[in-house]
Structure 1
Amino acid sequence: MVVMVHGLGLSGRYFTPLARSLAAAGRTVLVPDLPGNVRSRRAVRRSPDVEETVEELLRWRTAAAIGPCVLVANSVGCQVTAALAAEHPRLVERMVLIGPALDATALSPVRQLLRLLTDAPREPLSLLAVAAADYLVTGPARSLAGFRCARQDASGPFEARLRRIEAPTLVLRGSGDPVAPQLWAERVTAALPHGRLAVVPGAAHAVHFSRPDITARQILEFGPVNESR
């Protein structure tokens, strides 16, 4: 079982290419929309912080009767899965952090915005269309509130949690990703007790969208996905 966790202000729609690649390999894939984002924005009155998002994700897992699984996250979603894996290690078989954000060495809103603007021309136009539609539905107020929560988590708790994660974890980035640069990805990997870094040449921040087959292969080769649980 693979559970995918999306980034800030987005829905799970941009995981569709990767989900299809994994499903074609015989894996079961679930892609929830986190509360406060896009179609689930009215599930909560305000944007939840990382800890509150984890609690919502745990409630969803219980309702769906999901056991230990592989967690695959992108961008700020990596902060959510890191918190879940650190606090509930028995629920996580393995974890994949794709373009982990926010970079603790560049938490200025201006720097983060510049990195996103730098990344945009490197992504497929089809992804930009999905992201624009999602951000429009989530709205600027919710997106900004979510960023503030993510920034607070990235300022300390995120890296502290990484050091407590027991599950084998793959850190995956595109070689052209300005949001999660190489030095930051190396720092994230070094903090993990069982971490490994892989870089996909020519891809940007959403490597799971632009290179879904390569990303799926990286996930499958990193370790078995136990479908019996």
Structure 2
Amino acid sequence: MSPGQRQLTRAAPRTAQGFVSHWTAVAGLRLHVRSRAAAGRPWVLLHGLAVSHRYLMPTAAALAGGPVHVPDLPGFGLSSKPRQVFDVEQHTAVVAAWMDTEGITGARVLANSFGCQVAVELAVRRPDLVSALVLVGPTVDPAAPTATGQARRWLADLAWEDERQARIIAADVRDARPRRILATLRLSVRHRIDHRLPLVQAPVLFLRGEHDPIAPTRWLRQAARLTPLAATDVVPAAGHNAITTAGTVVARQAMAFVAQYTVGK
């Protein structure tokens, strides 16, 4: 990450590099969203477990060709903290309601980790809202279908992550609280993304950091085989959080992929 990227991750709710914060009332919640206006087809970015919009900002800032929206899921970041811990389907319902409220349709949805589960569910339930998916390090690999299995892989990933992410992750954990994080993890492993991928109508790019132990090559190849229209690619020298540590590369790969399917549509 460059110094400018690190500053951008910590900027909200202040305006920075064209990104502004706003809150939308959705299903009795206040959903915080970082957005940058532009002409064209929208991008929507969905974060992973325990984190928020913050770690997505290096990729968000590098995207072009349309407005960029980066919401904090309920309970995370600067969004409302409901007592209830939401599962994948409930997060998906909130994201769909927010997009309906904002009039966002046909979005290019870029997600990481747990956010990929929400993105896939969104594409299945509301195909009108999604024109393409870019899934970076998607969970949950059926070969590690338990909270313990996922936790072990996350620990293994630490060796490949940039230590300068520590301040970002610490802020996100502070906002979400460990109880919510652990409960969300337990709910996430119940969602069978491998059962939902065959139902996705939109084109899907599966991405992984070269050293990502959470989403190994074997799992991405399996996921692509399950998906009607899919491709895979690798982010060189990156771990699971490639969207933070290699945001410019991820954005370039995402834009090249969606351009094949969404330009002019």
1:65 Cα offset (Å): 1.5
Deviates more, 1:11-20 or 1:110-119: 110-119
**Residues 3-53 of structure 1: CA deviation (Å, up to 9, x unaligned):** 00000121111111111111xx343110000002232252x2211111111
1:134 offset after TM fit, Å? 0.6
Q: How does 1:1-229 map to 2 (within 5 A)?
A: 1-22=42-63, 25-42=64-81, 44-153=82-191, 156=192, 158-224=193-259
Cα separation, 1, equivalents of 2:174 and 2:157: 19
Q: Which residue type is aligned with residue 89 of structure 1?
A: P
1:210-229 deviation line (CA, Å, top 9, x unaligned): 11111111111102286999
Structure 2 distance, partners of 1:21, 1:89, is 26
Compare the two structures and name the one with the higher helix fraction: 1
CA distance in 2 between counterparts of 1:197 and 1:228 reads: 24
Unmatched segments (≥5 aa) in structure 1: none
For 1:86 and 1:93, locate their aligned partners in 2 and report how far apart those are by CA, in whole Å. Answer: 12
With the length of structure 2 as denominator, give the TM-score of the two structures.
0.80
Flag the structure with higher strand content. 2
Q: Aligned letter for 1:77?
A: G
Distance 1:8 1:41 in 2: 16
Retained in 2: the 8 A contact 1:11–1:37?
yes
Q: Which amino acid aligns with 2:125?
A: E
- 1:104-156 residue CA offsets vs partner (Å, 9 max, x unmatched): 21123332222111112311122232112211221111011101110110xx3
The percentage of aligned residue pairs carrying the same residue is 36
Structure 2 residue ranges without an equivalent (≥5): 1-41
> What TM-score do you get using the length of structure 1 for normalisation?
0.92
Task: Tell me, in whole angstroms, the C-alpha distance in 2 between the residues paired with 1:143 and 1:188.
Answer: 25
Cα RMSD between the aligned structures? 1.7
Higher relative contact order (CA 8 A, sep 6+): 1
CA distance in 2: counterparts of 1:113 and 1:160, whole angstroms = 22
Secondary structure of the corresponding residue to residue 3 of structure 1:
strand
- Which amino acid counterpart does residue 58 of structure 2 have in structure 1? P
CA distance in 2 between counterparts of 1:11 and 1:52 reads 17
Flag the 1:142–1:41 CA change in 2: closer, same or farther, 3 A. Answer: farther
CA contact (8 A) 1:5 1:81 kept: yes
Amino acid at match of 1:159: D
Distance 1:56 1:186 in 2: 30
The code of the aligned residue for 2:235 comes to V
